[in-house]
């Protein structure tokens, strides 16, 4: 246990000082890794803990990003104040979308979420309600401001994004060990047994969908603030696939696994820019090979352990 703590401590220190040794380009790569880490951690709640196959997570990300962008450009509300608005919009949207399809099992749910994600993308391209800017998207989103300090350069964003990653890790870590997290794990392992033990499965499934979506919505807000331009193509099906692959291949249900997955799937392709065209091909191949040889992912979660107090009597009786 202590060894793990040292490793995490060392990684945290390394991440904290990284911008001092890297140029703007690599800091920006780390920023993208951070945003994907937030997204993948939020998807991990749905896919990893509850075992619900969601291949439309980019839709919630998009709703968050567009909510922030529209409210910021139309009404001039500071982008950081819109974090709760993005979360609320994405969460509500998830509630509306997920309510009728939540009872579908496995691959059917997967297909329904793909369909929902595509409908969102098409709606954005078609300039729904006349506010999404069509295929060009929305530009001129304001930079985030913290106490008169404008976050503008990559290394400034770096601390902002990774602070949010830290908050995300803390939040999901707490959630994992809560009653809610355990209920999700139970219904993933055996839905019928979970229902038999008094867990309202629909309620918990919806809860995790809404929570995961709300968190992805906040990632959307951060993405909009970072890019200052958003367009429907940033939220297409392959974005959902990348998030999904990070969770499954990193180790579904495991926070360190998902973080490692974000580094591998967003960071590695940047290191091998020469193979940029082939990266998705290798990505697909890796998915097949991983499923055959290591279904549980690179860093699967360790089973829950509870300290058991061994009394003198128990030791004697063996």
Partner 1 sequence: MEDFFQQLTNGLTIGSIYALVALGYTMVYGVLKLINFAHGDLFTIGAYLGLTLLTSMGLSDRLGPFLGIIVLVLMVMGLLAILGALLDRAAYRPLRESPRLSAVVSALGASIFLQNTVMLIYGARSQAYPADIIPMTALDIFGLYIPVARILVLVVSFILMAALYLYIQKTRVGTAIRAAAIDQGAARLMGIDVNRVILYVFLIGPALGGVAGVMVGLLYGQIQFTMGWAFGLKAFTAAILGGIGNIPGAMVGGILLGIIEALGAQYISIAWKDAIAFGVLILILIVRPTGLLGERVADKI
Residues 2-41: b if buried by 16+ CB within 10 A, e if exposed: eeeeeeeeeeeeebeeebeebeeebbbbbbbbbbbbbbbb
Both tokens of 19, joined, read 């911008």
Which residues ranging from 44 to 83 are in contact with partner 1 (CB under 8 A)?
A: 51, 53, 55
Q: Residues 22, 227, 286, 298: which binds partner 1 (CB under 8 A)?
A: 286
Q: Is 264 in the site for partner 1 (CB under 8 A)?
A: no
Question: At closest approach, how far in Å is the CB of 212 from partner 1?
Answer: 18
Which residues ranging from 84 to 103 are in contact with partner 1 (CB under 8 A)?
A: 100-101
Instruction: For strands 145-146 and 149-150, give the pairing.
Output: antiparallel
Q: Is 115 in the site for partner 1 (CB under 8 A)?
A: yes
Q: Which residues contact 260 (CB under 8 A, 6 or more apart)?
A: 250, 251, 298, 299
Q: Residues 23, 126, 136, 197: which binds partner 1 (CB under 8 A)?
A: 126
DSSP per-residue codes, 183-207: HHHHHHH-HHHHHHTT--HHHHHHH
Three-class SS of residue 229?
strand
Q: Residues 24, 119, 131, 193: which binds partner 1 (CB under 8 A)?
A: 119
Q: Residues 41, 116, 142, 258: which binds partner 1 (CB under 8 A)?
A: 116
Question: At closest approach, how far in Å is the CB of 176 from partner 1?
Answer: 21
Contact residues for partner 1 (CB under 8 A)? 51, 53, 55, 100-101, 104-108, 110-112, 114-116, 118-119, 122-123, 125-126, 237, 241, 244-245, 248, 277-278, 280-281, 283-288, 291-292, 295
């Amino acid at each position: 246990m202590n060894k793990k703590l040292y490793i995490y401590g060392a990684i945290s220190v390394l991440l904290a000082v990284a911008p001092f040794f890297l140029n703007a380009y690599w800091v920006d790569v780390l920023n993208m890794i951070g945003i994907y880490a937030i997204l993948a951690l939020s998807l991990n709640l749905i896919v990893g803990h509850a075992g619900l196959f969601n291949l439309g997570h980019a839709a919630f990300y998009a709703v968050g990003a567009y909510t922030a962008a529209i409210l910021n450009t139309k009404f001039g509300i500071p982008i950081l104040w819109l974090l709760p608005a993005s979360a609320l919009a994405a969460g509500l949207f998830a509630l509306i979308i997920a309510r009728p399809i939540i009872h579908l099992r496995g691959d059917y749910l997967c297909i329904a979420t793909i369909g929902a994600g595509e409908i969102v993308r098409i709606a954005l391209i078609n300039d729904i309600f006349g506010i999404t800017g069509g295929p060009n998207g929305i530009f001129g989103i304001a930079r985030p401001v913290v106490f008169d300090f404008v976050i503008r350069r990559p290394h400034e964003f770096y601390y902002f994004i990774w602070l949010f990653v830290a908050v995300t890790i803390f939040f999901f870590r707490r959630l994992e060990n809560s009653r809610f997290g355990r209920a999700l794990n139970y219904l993933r392992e055996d839905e019928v047994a979970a229902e038999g033990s008094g867990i309202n499965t629909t309620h918990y499934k919806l809860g995790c969908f809404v929570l995961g979506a709300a968190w992805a919505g906040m990632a959307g807000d951060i993405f909009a603030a970072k890019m200052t331009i958003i367009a429907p193509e940033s939220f297409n099906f392959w974005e959902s696939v990348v998030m999904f692959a990070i969770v499954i291949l990193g180790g579904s249900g495991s926070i360190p696994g998902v973080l490692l997955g974000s580094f591998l799937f967003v960071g590695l392709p940047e290191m091998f820019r020469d193979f940029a065209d082939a990266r998705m091909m290798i990505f697909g191949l890796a998915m097949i090979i991983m499923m055959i040889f290591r279904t549980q992912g690179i860093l699967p979660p360790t089973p829950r352990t509870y300290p058991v107090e061994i009394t003198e009597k128990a030791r004697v009786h063996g």
